[in-house]
Amino acid sequence: MDVEVVGRALSTLPEDDDHPYRTGPWRPQTVERKVDDCPVIGELPTDLDGVYLRNTENPVHPSMSVYHPFDGDGMVHVVGFRDGKAFYNNRFVRTDGFLAEQAAGHALWAGLAEDPAKSPTQTGWGARGRMKDASSTDIVVHNGVALSSFYQCGDLYRLDPRTADTLGKAGWNGRFPSDVGVSAHPKVDEHTGELLFFNYATTAPFMHYGVVDTQDELVHYVDIPLPGPRLPHDMAFTEHYAILNDLPLFWEPAALAAGKYAARFHPEMPSRFAVIPRRGQTSDIMWFEADPTYVLHWVNAYEDGDEIVLDGFFQDNPEPPIGGGTLYQRMFRFLDNDLMGPRLHRWRLNLRTGQATEQRMTDTVSEFGMINGTHGGRRHRYTYAATALPGWFLFNGLVKHDLDTGAEERFDLEEGVFASETAMAPRLGSTSEDDGYLVTIVSDMNRDLSECLVFDAKNLADGPIARVQLPERVSSGTHSTWAPGSAIPGWGTADHAASAIGV
């Protein structure tokens, strides 16, 4: 493998580090690499054309006291496919916080599990108002540019979708909401080219919803009234509507007033959904109530007559008890899907009657569901989700849910091998919803390597049809996306240039 090293980060992590979310499958990278022609086991199909991008929490400095796995700096991994070949690039997202800590040589911000007073001179972002914006949660591609984002709200960092080089911040012609930022999970409608987003804060107004057009102009931005600070993580949209949520797991008001961020589940309160026309005003919102739960991720939504069909992962136990296990398992129990029990669930929101009905779609515990992006906001049949290793935030398999028939098809990874969020890549000239490929990066602890696996989406259980060899074992991470080559300016002609960190 011909590997070019294009940058290195200064890391001060201890050589004898024993934190389970900075070692093993979560061992971070410090080197940025470029591979123009990756070795492949099997044969890559020539009608797989585009890029798979995956974001990663990738710490380079010890935390001030308690490291939470969502504190790590953003690093984006790109595996590109064209003409039956694959290339690879990985780059740190050069956030303001990352650059400041590289210059200082140590952490400057308190993390999610730390006392905010530990970073009294630093300002953070949005909902918490004191955390570093690591831009390490999500990634989408809009108007030919990748946008990385942070789940506690922050800037959207613009990246080259081929090289992952940082291009600056989204500005939206001076109208970016710098006072609050943007949450992770903005949505791109592949039919209109619009970007739909939300943000949230600890002071009123507690949530906004906005739309950015194909010219990178913020064309719509309205208040979504909430009774207090909330913890929304995701949103959904249909052809004509956006769906926001007010769920009964949020920061305790008394603790928040004292500067403490303790999330609690309130089962006596309903789940609430705000349905707003995509360019509607606050006064146009219709509110729906349903059974109490927390939904970390929505799959999709679409219109069916008078109803909006909304699919997501209903948590049976949004606030797991501390219980047994190791100290880290107890501390990070909110990352344990086996305890929280997320299962695919369907809500039907009737716009005529104002009533919500709901049903469980499967008994299988899974999360991080992806669909064929061309069905975003339109009717979908298939969801491709991850199964998890009990006790840990690690994906040990893939499951294809058929929501029309209830059938499920699975692929379980070998013990010690862990997947990433799996994107669906429609093949060139695809003719049906599952006519394409599933793409994921795995971290193989048994062989100390990473591969990008490619599956036939119609035949997941048959296993990967190709394995792209990567130059280093990649740390586990959060979200991914797929962008077809047709969505990337200059695709197939540009040199995959790189820029070093320079430290």
Give residue-wise pLDDT tens across range 239-288. Answer: 999 999 999 999 999 888 887 888 999 999 999 999 999 999 999 999 99
pLDDT value at residue 326: 84
Does residue 117 form part of some domain?
yes
DSSP 259-323: T---EEE-TTS-EEEEEEETT--GGG-EEEEE----EEEEEEEEEETTEEEEEEEEES-SS----
CB atoms < 10 A from the CB of 120, how many?
Answer: 9
pLDDT value at residue 119: 72
pLDDT value at residue 260: 80
Which of 54, 25, 44, 150 has the alpha carbon at shortest distance from 370? 54
Domain that holds residue 6: 1-185+482-503
Contact call for residues 161 and 51 (beta carbons, < 8 A) = yes
Does residue 345 form part of some domain?
no
pLDDT value at residue 124: 66
Which of 45, 20, 32 has the alpha carbon at shortest distance from 392? 20
In the sheet with 218-223, reading across from the earlier edge strand, the strands are 187-188, 195-200, 207-212, 218-223
CA torsion 402-408-411-413 (nearest 10°) is 110
Does residue 176 form part of some domain?
yes
> Distance (Å, rounded) from C-alpha 502 to C-alpha 349?
52
Does residue 65 form part of some domain?
yes
* CA distances, 465 to each of 40, 445, 458 (Å): 10, 21, 12
- In 127-235, DSSP assigns E strands to 138-142, 145-149, 157-159, 166-169, 187-188, 195-200, 207-212, 218-223
> Distance (Å, rounded) from C-alpha 20 to C-alpha 498?
31
pLDDT value at residue 499: 45
Q: Structural domain tally of the chain?
A: 1
Does residue 173 form part of some domain?
yes
Give residue 245's identity as a one-letter amino acid code: N
Count CA within 13 A, CB hemisphere, residue 144: 7
Does residue 252 form part of some domain?
no
Does residue 344 form part of some domain?
no
* CA distances, 392 to each of 249, 326, 338 (Å): 21, 11, 9
Helices within 139-228 (DSSP H only):
none
Give residue 286's identity as a one-letter amino acid code: M
Does residue 47 form part of some domain?
yes
Who's near 208: CB < 8 A, 6+ residues apart? Answer: 177, 180, 198, 199, 221, 222, 223, 224
Which of 346, 274, 348 has the alpha carbon at shortest distance from 304? 348
Low-confidence ranges of the chain (pLDDT < 50): 494-500, 502-503
CA torsion 492-495-499-500 (nearest 10°) is 100
Give residue 319's identity as a one-letter amino acid code: E
Which of 396, 394, 397, 372 has the alpha carbon at shortest distance from 383? 372
